[in-house]
Amino acid sequence: MTDYAPKDIPLRDRLIFALDVPDAGAAKELVVTLADSVEFYKLGLELMTSGDYFEVMDWLHARGKKVFADLKLFDVPATVAGAVAGLRHRGAYFLTVHGNQSIMEAAAAEKGQMRILGVTVLTSLDRGDLDDLGFECSVNSLVLSRARRSLEAGCDGVISSGLEAPALRESVSHKLLVVTPGIRPVDNRPADDQKRVVDVAQAFNNGADYIVIGRPIRDAKDPRAAAEAIQQTISETFT
């Protein structure tokens, strides 16, 4: 493990499964298949646009599961504040916000019991993409800058690649929650849209608190066995 003190998080909650499916039927089928191998689920934009988002969220809560609302809210501060205020009554544990200082401050002011996560740099972006977007700094510098601003705005943590997690721990704060997507088990690194990836053990050794995994579980021949294998790796990493 990295030299920071790991937070008191139940081990099986550290795996968040990305429930990126087109509708409630597909979502429920996967959750039933995964059973007790997964306790924490991320619900993103695909389910939101299906119209089934809150049905699935309520269904998961009824089964004792935690929900990460990955909506990457980005709008004028007043609109984001209203959206966060509406969502906090739905029982989401995490909510992502993507924006500047005033947007994140507005979200933090209305979060209630939710934890607000600021998006740093999407794991699907690399140096070339940042050049195209007009960012002249390095990926690492941009992640650190956005993390500092998130913390100053009252956010609870950030979404960040495991590659930048050590710098976040060293240069920003050990209190910051670091949630790391783009995880690829060492024996399952498909060619896809994720560029800045790490494996399970590397993510936690670098300082991540949670990892988000989707396709390597969803597309496995036996999704429940794949999830349990990841849970075993997490358990071994923290012992």
Query: Active-site residue 7, yes or no?
Result: no
3-state secondary structure of 145: helix
Average pLDDT in the 132-147 region? Answer: 66
CATH architecture of 11-237: Alpha-Beta Barrel (3.20)
Residue 130 has pLDDT above 50, yes or no: no
Report the alpha-carbon distance of residue 115 to residue 92 in Å, rounded: 8
Q: What torsion do the CA atoms of 237, 210, 100, 115 make, to the nearest 10 degrees?
A: -140
pLDDT for the residue numbered 190? 47
- Average per-residue pLDDT in the chain? 86
How far is residue 155's CA from residue 98's CA, in Å, rounded to a whole number? 11
> pLDDT tens digits, residue range 71-92?
999 999 999 999 999 999 999 9
- Provide the β-strand partners of residue 115: 94
Q: Judge whether residue 23 has pLDDT over 90.
A: yes
| pTM (predicted TM-score) | 0.87
pLDDT at 207 over 80: yes
Active site residue: 65, 72, 111, 221, which one? 72
Cα angle 190, 199, 10; round to 5: 125
Q: Where are the domains of the chain?
A: 11-237
Name the least confident of 11-20, 59-68, 171-180, 203-212.
171-180
pLDDT at residue 166, rounded to an integer: 85
